[in-house]
Amino acid sequence: MTDAASSPTPASTALAATSSPATPRSDNPFLVESPLPYRLPPFAEIREKHFEPAFEQGMLEQRREVAAILADPAPPSFASVLEPLERSGRLLARVADVFFSLSSTDATETLTELEERLAPVLAAHHDAILLDAELYARIAAVRDAANAPSAADRAALDPEQRYLVERHWIEMTVAGAGLDEAEKDELRALNAELSTLTTRFEKDLLADTNDLAVHVTDPAELAGLGGGELSAAAEAAAARGLEGWLVTLVLPTGHPWLASLEHRPTRQRLMAASRSRGARGGAHDTRATVLRIARLRARRAELLGFANHAAAVTADETAGSPEAVAAMLEPLARVAARNARAEQQELDALNATEAGDPETLEAADWAFWSERVRRERYAVDTAALRPWFEAERVLQDGVFFAASRLYGVSFTERPDLRGYHPEVRVFEVREEDGTPVGLYLLDLYTRDSKRGGAWMNSLVSAAELLGEPTAVVVNNLNVPRPAPGSPTLLTFDEVSTLFHEFGHALHGLFARVRYPHLAGTNVYRDFVEFPSQVNEMWMLWPEVLENYARHYETGEPIDPEVVERIRASETWGEGFATSEYLAAALLDQAWHRLSPAEAEAVTSVEEFEAVALARVGLDNPAVPPRYASSYFAHAFSGGYDAGYYSYIWSEVLDADTVEWFRENGGLRRENGDRFRRLVLGVGGSKDPREAYREFRGRDAEPAPLLRRRGLD
């Protein structure tokens, strides 16, 4: 998943840097609950100097809180162990939620250096709790009492309390709480080094991504781009003091502008820059970091009693094992590769006849000629649709409109509330009867200080135990900012991404639980993408589309026939799209299914990738992985290690749910209320497989996904 803002502002406008000593307690805004509505962090008061002392104090307080649990002479019970554990670490959570939001969205040199210093310290702090043998024993005792064979002896816990006990016990078990002290010492060292390496990977990737932006001075080299794209590229160049245009890179291998660029050498430059990130030598090369991370994760898994890191990760996911992941993904890979080869034959012919180019189609050419097929066969030019996707209309009359119709909520902008950066907008969310739901923050535009991609994170999660009845969530995208006075016109994919990320936001806003450990989107990683993927359906839902897709100059609605042609064209290109995704997902699995000895034997990232992709039949040079290892942030810094399969795993549920909505009348309030009550609203308070069965009346069926992707 960059470009500077149209009016470049120093980091001091968001968080003022300082070299002054640690702030006294009375001056640090983190050390008290925020007085702002919905407990929105007081960004106007927060300075970089506040973070380190707040982290130190937060860790100290949580250690004291856990020590008090262990000193309690009473027999272990839910009230004496789990409730105080859930209450612990509130200061640490407050500062961490803000800090890590900022380090990924508005990173400064000071924040980046602090993150590197803090990574091993925080890892050690969390290990001290997760690996504490006495705490583990007390939680196990509570679990045993909850599962006593005799009803008379069984502890009286409600379903959410039972599930919370089980989650803590499983997480501590998988983390290594049952190891002996010597093994725990090694585990702590591994975790500390891994935390440093993943932070370094993210920092180096951001720096190399910025350095590799493609600078163009001849307008002929950007032929095919629209006015909005040219405006954004000119603005990006001006922000860096350059003449001409600057095409900044996105996180995936393929850049969205490749579909429009007519000048083949520019396409080749852009693809080469994208694919060389982290793999061209120098200070920001990530390959040695990738190898070290893979080796450390393999050793850690072995220490924990697992065959490999993928086995350790999937043991606490709905998949259950890497074998289950392979059983689903590898057959799909064969079909996807076959479909991609069929698409490639058409594109090769088009490339040869229309461009007069005898050369074999390259990865840089695929999107351009694929878009040509879409235009000629289906009369669809997604690039030409941008005038109908003006960002504000998409947000207000599309994204918000669908949520209001489905869930009865309203969105009101709050200019009196400040986000962490001047570009961040704050919206208040309320129920139909005016009951507060929370705040939604939107950070739409790319900038050099923001990492690539799109994501959602929470600043406040609703948890009854802590007296937090509402949530504060953030969506981040990386849309190029046009020049002042020009409209922000989104690509088709950017509209889809906004609907997707807003699905995560709704999940975070609607979850209502008692305990913070189960709050918001704290669900299995291979389930968390499900609600967001479901929300994508409303992008092309007729009554939603006709409400927002209007030409930004004339107000003319999008032609319904165009929409029908878009639907007819949906399976075109799915061979490529599924192949590039599965190539990344299976590459992630390949790295993380290595034993320690196998990981030590890998000395070349490129050779390992080539072998791994050839084994599953996804080694087509014209269809590179969506992410190669050297810039695979999901796998090496983003928390999706051995879990990138989650998107298609969740898509089985998503496609099945879309069919349910269609069968039941679509965008109807009663449908939204059911989905909210049984899926979004439960957060992580129950097994998501159980939640899905309750919602759907059965387990998900894979047939809708296969039809959607043209794999049936």
pLDDT in tens, 308-321: 999 999 999 999 99
Task: Tell me what pLDDT residue 384 has.
Answer: 87
Report the pLDDT averaged over residues 492-504. 97
Give the pLDDT confidence score for residue 25 in this predicted structure: 54
Cα distances from 150 to residues 20, 141, 146, 166, in angstroms, run 62, 15, 10, 19
Kindly give the interhelix angle for 669-678 and 688-696, rounded to the nearest 10 degrees. 150
What is the band of 450 on the pLDDT scale with cuts at 50, 70, 90?
very high
Identify the band that residue 26 occupies on the pLDDT scale cut at 50, 70 and 90. low
Mean pLDDT of the region 164-192: 96
Q: How many CB atoms lie within 10 A of CB 410?
A: 15
User: Rounded to an integer, what distance in angstroms lies between the CA atom of residue 309 and that of residue 190?
Assistant: 13
Better pLDDT: 25 or 572: 572
What is the identity of the amino acid at 702? P
What pLDDT score was predicted for residue 19?
35
Catalytic sites, residue numbers: 501
Classify 709 as helix, strand or coil.
coil
Residue 125 confidence (pLDDT): 97
Pairing between β-strand 425-430 and β-strand 436-445 as defined by DSSP bridges: antiparallel
- For 577-620, what is each residue's pLDDT tens digit? 999 999 999 999 999 999 999 999 999 999 999 999 999 999 99
362 by DSSP, 3-state: which? coil
Tokens of 193: 């080094």
Least confident piece of the model among 23-27, 231-235, 593-597: 23-27
Q: Is 485 left (phi over 0), alpha (psi -120 to 50) or beta?
A: left
327-381 pLDDT, tens digit per residue, is 999 999 999 999 999 999 999 988 888 776 666 789 999 999 999 999 888 888 8
Taking a C-beta distance cutoff of 8 angstroms, is the pair 281, 575 a contact? no
Q: Where are the alpha helices (DSSP H) in 212-262?
A: 227-239
Residue 252 tokens, joined? 């995936």
Of 542, 551, 527, the closest CA to residue 653 belongs to: 527
Q: What is the pLDDT of residues 102-132, one digit of tens each?
A: 999 999 999 999 999 999 999 999 999 999 9
Q: How far apart are CA 238 and CA 230, in angstroms?
A: 12
pLDDT at 238: 95
pLDDT at 351: 83
Tens digit of each residue's pLDDT (9 = 90 or more) over 192-219: 999 999 999 999 999 999 999 999 999 9
Rounded CA-CA distance 297/642 in Å is 10
pLDDT at 357: 63
pLDDT at 649: 96
Q: How many CA atoms lie within 13 A of 338 on its CB side?
A: 10
pLDDT band at 140 (very low <50, low <70, confident <90, very high): very high
SS3 at position 170: helix
Q: Give the class (CATH, top level) of 27-130+132-178.
A: mainly alpha
Residues 39, 122: contact at Cβ < 8 Å? no
pLDDT at 150 over 90: no
Instruction: Let me know: does 493 contact 523? Beta carbons within 8 Å.
Output: no
Q: Are 442 and 475 in contact (CB under 8 A)?
A: yes
State which CATH number among 3.40.228.10, 3.40.50.300, 1.10.1370.10, 3.60.9.10 fits the domain covering 287-380+572-644: 1.10.1370.10
Domain ranges of the chain: 27-130+132-178, 212-275, 287-380+572-644, 387-568
The CATH number fitting domain 387-568, selected from 1.10.1370.40, 1.10.1740.10, 3.20.20.140, 1.20.1740.10: 1.10.1370.40
- Tokens representing 561 are 């026939």
Q: How far is CA 451 from CA 3, 322, 613, in A?
A: 10, 29, 27
What is the mean pLDDT of the segment spanning 545-559? 96
Give the pLDDT of residue 11: 32
Both structure tokens of 306: 């697992």
Mean pLDDT score of the chain, rounded to an integer? 93
Domain 27-130+132-178 and domain 287-380+572-644, same fold? Reply is: yes
Q: Comparing C-alpha atoms, which of 20, 31, 14 is closest to residue 103?
A: 14
Lowest pLDDT segment from 120-134, 230-244, 348-362, 679-693: 348-362
Give the percent of the chain with pLDDT over 90.
89
- Looking at residue 8, its pLDDT comes to 30
Mean pLDDT of 156-162: 95
